[in-house]
Structure 1
Amino acid sequence: MSINNRNLIVLALTYWLYFGQLGVLVPYLGIFLDGRGFSSAEIGELFAVITLARILGPGIWANVADKTGNALGVLRLGTFLTVLTFSSVFYFSGFWGLTLSFGLMMMFWTAVLPQLEVITMQAVSKSKANYGQIRLWGSVGFICLTIAVGKALDVYSTDTPVVVSIGVLACLFLITLFISAPGAASKAEAAPGHIWQYMRQRPFAVFIFASVCLQISFGAYYGFFALYLRDLGYSGQQTGLFIALGVLAEVGIFLIAGRLIRTYGVWNLLFASIALTAIRWFALGVMAESATVIFISQLVHALSFGLTHAVSVHFIHQYLPSSFHSRGQAVYISVAFGFGGALGNYMAGQQWQQGTNAFETFTTAAIFAAVGALSLLLCAKKAFDEQKNT
């Protein structure tokens, strides 16, 4: 086995653990906080506060990675500090204590994914593999741990997600020690200007705006989907299986994402995916009592998250010069997932009212997704698909 192929396997395991951790925490953090006695408004506020760390963190870490050329070092440091700070969750029980724990954890967590994406794109460029074939293992990890923790919640306490998280984060740090930088240890060639000159161009600005709207719309799903299903009478195991179904659909989409991008282009795929996401949220608000509706809506998750993410990574990688790749990924994550995610979480928390306003909350989510899709009409399709910079 060649060194690069071995590295691709290690990268696949890293994605498995990274997104496996998200599969432990994202669907079930609301249940953990509910078990600690938090109201839905407090849960939404805590989600919003800790998500704000995703605005500041990615830019800081990506700037270090791009200027030093040491994305791998930043990746390892981020995973180590994430384990260290997350451990403090066991010493706090109040709102501000847990907010501090999760906020610090998130600050260091933001160092991980942008660097992992850049290292993976560099590694696959030297092999016959493509990004989707490596990234899909993150979805597999999400599925495995979501199902396992969902089943465990039927047996053990609501503290289960944070206990499992510590083990997963420790393994994530250890696996990063085996990653090899794929010939990118030196500083990237400097590109003229500043990343702002690319951000203010219409295609990139429209892309970011649509991404923000999409992430705002995810607030209700990320914060309250598991609680919503529990209130509707679904068991923890059923909830885990529904969540895992959505991510299983992602696996399939990642396998063919490269082919879809080449065939249909960035703009078409983003528009279709975000528009269908709007329909997904509305259906959840209206007909979630039907297991069939939930089943179909979770299949759409392949587009809502999987395809939009694969297309977004592709767009950033082709649109920006190589010396701006980490910072480009950081802008995408910090603005879309950070600002958009924080606003979406806060709004959903204020609307939810212990589930009595579930319809209104998911309808608001649908409106934001629809606005995101329509905003893409402000830019020509070919502007999204041109390889403008090398």
Structure 2
Amino acid sequence: MNLPSTGETRISPLNLVLLCVTYLLYFGQLGVLVPYLGIFLDGRGYSSEQIGELFAIITLARILGPSLWASIADKSGKTLRVLQLGCVLTVCSFATIFWQDTFWGLAFSFGMMMMFWTAVLPQLEVITMQSVKLAGSNYGTIRLWGSIGFIILTIAVGKALDYFTTEVPIYASMFTLTALMVSTFFLTQPATSKRTNEQSGDFWKVIKHPAFIVFILSATLLQVSFGTYYGFFTLYLRDLGYSGQQTGLLIALGVVAEVVIFMYAQKLLNRYSVSSLLVLSGVLTALRWYALGAWGSHATVVIVSQLLHAFSFGLTHAASVHFIHHRLPAHFHSRGQAIYISVAFGLGGASGNYIAGQIWQQGTNAYLSFSFSATLALLSAFVFGIFSFKKWQSA
């Protein structure tokens, strides 16, 4: 897509700063929700099966939101307006949680919040990629602020849980989501050229390409493997005797590793293929899950496993965004990101949460659950590796 070389396309340093702030708040919320939702639900008296089921229900909402909103954004070109509306609806739906005290009431409130909240990210990624291209900046330097936000909120909420009730996560979430909404009101979207007939095309034909299908399948399997970690990692560490502050610091350590990899991601992508990086990340993730399940009582093992988060999420995400941005035409970027988020993180994440909840059994099957996750991560690497090998042989 060619961009007009007019003053309208210039990106101010302030807008880049605002993008950093938006990432910080968006993933800061992730730092509250992912590690501590299980603690919140456990405090409400729900069993591991119910926690897994509720995680699955709200994660399924990630399938609905992204594709719907991304289609509107791609067709209208008003990506920023869609992002802002998503943030407003996220705050409104999350606020209803304070009046819910039943399983299905919480599932509805969290599900609605998740449907709108996850719809925000594809638009944010598109605006960021457009902005850094025009500003001559680097995606990784913007995205790493999301990791910093995750670290700050994870440590803060983990510390607060040592002193206050298990209701802390929902109050922290309300504050963070409101701040996120406000930050998006000050963003600007780069002006892009109008669509032409040559830019039109069949989106479904594009995403049915074998490379994209294999990419989505591999990404989905990897996210299924995250089910045990996302749903039960904090409860697992608590059962092993780790304090809330130690748990927060360990989660933050993983994100610090993620920040470091984001700083070098572009260099790695310039030097190595997306396939080789995704295969490597899948294998290291499998080792991470198995080590956690087998030797989680050893702090050194947990520390090393958290450092591998650099590959499990950081490098995987950077390579995936790079893949979509370069594989798909520009006018399909929002929908491509949405398919990635809704299928891999939505369907894959929901499946992983549900299965982990059925296996976990209040922690008695922790080893089995993490071993299952390790198998799925290895399968993810295998799928992408076999496809890349066949493609190389046929070349």
* TMscore range, shorter length: over 0.9
Instruction: Specify the alignment match of 2:339 in structure 1.
Output: 331
Instruction: Specify the alignment match of 1:388 in structure 2.
Output: none
Instruction: Specify the alignment match of 2:3 in structure 1.
Output: none
Residue 20 in structure 1 maps to residue 24 in structure 2? no
User: Aligned-pair distance for 1:198?
Assistant: 2.0
Per-residue Cα deviation, 1:165-199 (whole angstroms, up to 9, x for no partner): 00000000000011010113955876343222122
Residue 300 in structure 1 maps to residue 275 in structure 2? no
Per-residue Cα deviation, 1:304-330 (whole angstroms, up to 9, x for no partner): 001100100000000000010000000
- Output aligned runs, 1:142-153, within 5 Å: 142-153=150-161
Instruction: Specify the alignment match of 2:17 in structure 1.
Output: 9
Query: In the alignment, is the contact (CA less than 8 A) between 2:23 and 2:146 conserved in 1?
Result: yes
Query: In the alignment, is the contact (CA less than 8 A) between 1:228 and 1:355 conserved in 2?
Result: yes
- Find the aligned partners of 2:211 and 2:196 in 1 and give their Cα distance: 24
Letter in 2 for 1:274: G
Residue 121 in structure 1 maps to residue 134 in structure 2? no
Query: In the alignment, is the contact (CA less than 8 A) between 1:189 and 1:323 conserved in 2?
Result: no
Instruction: Specify the alignment match of 2:116 in structure 1.
Output: 108
User: Identity over aligned residues, as a percent?
Assistant: 60
Instruction: Specify the alignment match of 1:355 in structure 2.
Output: 363
Query: In the alignment, is the contact (CA less than 8 A) between 2:253 and 2:306 conserved in 1?
Result: yes
Instruction: Specify the alignment match of 1:272 in structure 2.
Output: 280
Query: In the alignment, is the contact (CA less than 8 A) between 1:4 and 1:123 conserved in 2?
Result: no
Query: In the alignment, is the contact (CA less than 8 A) between 2:74 and 2:331 conserved in 1?
Result: yes
Letter in 1 for 2:258: E
2:95 to 87, 101, 116: 87
Instruction: Specify the alignment match of 2:44 in structure 1.
Output: 36
Instruction: Specify the alignment match of 1:318 in structure 2.
Output: 326
User: Aligned-pair distance for 1:378?
Assistant: 3.1
Instruction: Specify the alignment match of 1:387 in structure 2.
Output: none
Letter in 2 for 1:94: T
Per-residue Cα deviation, 1:69-104 (whole angstroms, up to 9, x for no partner): 001000000011100100111101110000000011
Letter in 2 for 1:165: S
Instruction: Specify the alignment match of 1:213 in structure 2.
Output: 221
Instruction: Specify the alignment match of 2:204 in structure 1.
Output: 196
Change (3 A) 1:382 1:93: same
Residue 226 in structure 1 maps to residue 234 in structure 2? yes
2:353 to 333, 345, 360: 345
TM-score w.r.t. structure 2 length? 0.95
Instruction: Specify the alignment match of 1:99 in structure 2.
Output: 107
> Tell me, what secondary structure is at the counterpart of 1:256?
helix
User: Aligned-pair distance for 1:202?
Assistant: 1.4
Change (3 A) 1:255 1:383: farther
Query: In the alignment, is the contact (CA less than 8 A) between 1:70 and 1:185 conserved in 2?
Result: no
- Find the aligned partners of 1:181 and 1:329 in 2 and give their Cα distance: 17
Query: In the alignment, is the contact (CA less than 8 A) between 1:124 and 1:130 conserved in 2?
Result: yes
Per-residue Cα deviation, 1:22-71 (whole angstroms, up to 9, x for no partner): 00111000000000000000000000001111111111000000000001
Letter in 2 for 1:54: R
User: Aligned-pair distance for 1:381?
Assistant: 6.5
User: Aligned-pair distance for 1:380?
Assistant: 2.7
Residue 181 in structure 1 maps to residue 158 in structure 2? no
Change (3 A) 1:145 1:187: farther
Change (3 A) 1:119 1:185: farther
User: Aligned-pair distance for 1:5?
Assistant: 1.5
> Tell me, what secondary structure is at the counterpart of 1:99?
helix
Instruction: Specify the alignment match of 2:55 in structure 1.
Output: 47
Change (3 A) 1:238 1:189: farther
Change (3 A) 1:180 1:382: farther
Change (3 A) 1:83 1:68: same
Letter in 2 for 1:269: L
Which consecutive unaligned segments of at least 5 residues does structure 2 have? 1-9
Instruction: Specify the alignment match of 1:62 in structure 2.
Output: 70
- Find the aligned partners of 1:45 and 1:209 in 2 and give their Cα distance: 23
User: Aligned-pair distance for 1:265?
Assistant: 1.5
- Find the aligned partners of 1:55 and 1:194 in 2 and give their Cα distance: 21
- Find the aligned partners of 2:357 and 2:366 in 1 and give their Cα distance: 10
- Find the aligned partners of 2:193 and 2:77 in 1 and give their Cα distance: 6
Query: In the alignment, is the contact (CA less than 8 A) between 2:223 and 2:352 conserved in 1?
Result: yes
Change (3 A) 1:302 1:121: same
Which consecutive unaligned segments of at least 5 residues does structure 1 have? 385-390
- Find the aligned partners of 1:382 and 1:268 in 2 and give their Cα distance: 14
TM-score w.r.t. structure 1 length? 0.96
Residue 164 in structure 1 maps to residue 172 in structure 2? yes
Per-residue Cα deviation, 1:124-148 (whole angstroms, up to 9, x for no partner): 0012311000000000000001000
Which shows bigger deviation, 194-203 or 140-149? 194-203
Query: In the alignment, is the contact (CA less than 8 A) between 2:275 and 2:385 conserved in 1?
Result: no
- Find the aligned partners of 1:178 and 1:75 in 2 and give their Cα distance: 12
User: Aligned-pair distance for 1:290?
Assistant: 0.3
Change (3 A) 1:87 1:139: same
1:373 to 376, 381, 386: 381
- Find the aligned partners of 1:236 and 1:320 in 2 and give their Cα distance: 43
- Find the aligned partners of 1:321 and 1:132 in 2 and give their Cα distance: 21
